[in-house]
Amino acid sequence: MKHTDGSAHRSRGLSRRDFIRGAGLAAAGLLAAGCQGGARPAQGQPPAAAGAKSTVAIATAQDYGRDRVYSQVRDLLDAIGGLGDIVSRGDRVAIKVNLTGGTSVRPLPGASAIESYITHPEVVRALGQLLRDAGARELLIVEAVYEWASYVDWGYVEAADAIEAQLIDLNDTDPYNDFSETAVGDGSFIYDRFTFNHVLEDVNAFISVSKMKNHYSCGVTHTMKNLIGLVPMRSYRLSTRDNHRSAFHGEGDTFSTRLPRVIMDLNRARPIHLGLIDGIKTTQGGEGPWIGTMSPIAPGVLIAGKDVVATDAVATAAMGYDPTKEPPNPPFLRSDNHLNLAYELGLGTNRLDEIEVVGPSIDDIKTEFEPCWD
């Protein structure tokens, strides 16, 4: 029986996405009916030409200087063909960031949160400027934040003001009156639908901007794993005492099979059109200071691609890992490799020989990360 946590929220009936899926257009990656930009490429859609490879771009930056980050993000997007097939003039675009843990978590000594385990606002600011140049009419920065102070204390109010973006807390219904119930589609693993803020359906393009990190449960967390933060936390807890989406993990050690498949369900319910990974300064050995083995590391890289499976695979390889390994091989020590699941579903490729890397090679920028051993 499929879980439908959060189904108590009132639905609007047949959603735009349900209508599109029912019409057999989901594989084309269409979003809301009447999108001004027309059809968008589906997440991880295999290259149309026989033998074509997914393109992922790498750029280097040693710090978060505004001009340097902007120029490198611009060059990354140019290297993967620009934004023309993702954003059209007048579009509404959502940018999903990773602001995990909340402001009450004490960062590591000498390493701020934005320079260790959450998406840096300068990367989002640069992306937003380029989206505006591409014709985006409305920009939305979205995350199910632990508290609104996450946006305030971590520099997102200033970044949003600079690019005239709206900050959205996905834990709430605002700016709508209720949540949507968005279907995963045929072949869902754990959930057949998710409780989402309607904004996730009412955008023309959806972009995931993540930190390059290890993860205790999933081995690595990049653009696909970032979608765990799409749903309101209170709808996906086993207990009201839990401060994370414990229903996604399940009871005991069931997370080893459950959590990677929840990630797949989320990515099919809300496909990603562009992935951008902040690996300028980050952490190894854990996704946040609550993991005792976590320590700062500075790979000095940015990675982007429209096939987000390939994008996450390149980031995983840049951390010194084989993105096709299964447990108990690092970094996938405790759970199934969600990148392999994505490959099997046809969402994209994590096979490096099927990926064209533009810019520095993976070997040129590789930084060996310690996995979450304990």
CA distances (Å), origin 118, targets 9, 107, 226: 30, 11, 11
Question: For residue 310, is it within any domain?
Answer: yes
Question: For residue 9, is it within any domain?
Answer: no
pLDDT in tens, the chain (374 residues): 344 443 333 333 333 333 333 333 333 333 333 333 334 455 545 454 556 899 999 999 999 999 999 999 999 999 999 999 999 999 999 999 999 999 999 888 889 999 999 999 999 999 999 999 999 999 999 999 999 999 999 999 999 999 999 999 999 999 999 999 999 999 999 999 999 999 999 999 999 999 999 999 999 999 999 999 999 999 999 999 988 999 999 998 899 999 999 999 999 999 999 999 999 999 999 999 999 889 999 999 999 999 999 999 999 999 999 999 999 999 999 999 999 999 999 999 999 999 999 999 999 999 999 999 98
Residue 330 in tokens: 């690092």
**Tokens 């930190």, located at residue:** 211
3-state SS assignment for residue 241: coil
Question: For residue 330, is it within any domain?
Answer: yes
Question: For residue 7, is it within any domain?
Answer: no
Domain span holding position 337: 16-365
Strands (E), the chain: 54-60, 92-96, 138-143, 165-169, 179-183, 193-197, 205-211, 213-215, 219-221, 274-279, 282-284, 295-297, 301-305, 355-358
Question: For residue 3, is it within any domain?
Answer: no
Question: For residue 65, is it within any domain?
Answer: yes
Q: Strand 274-279 relative to strand 205-211: parallel, antiparallel, unpaired? A: parallel
Question: For residue 11, is it within any domain?
Answer: no
What does the alpha-carbon distance between residue 128 and residue 161 come to, in Å, rounded to a whole number? 11
Other C-beta atoms within 10 Å of 45: how many?
A: 18
Residues 6+ apart with CB under 8 A from 308: 43, 44, 208, 222, 223, 224, 267, 272, 274, 275, 347, 348
- How many domains would you assign to the chain? 1
Question: For residue 227, is it within any domain?
Answer: yes
What does the alpha-carbon distance between residue 270 and residue 282 come to, in Å, rounded to a whole number? 26
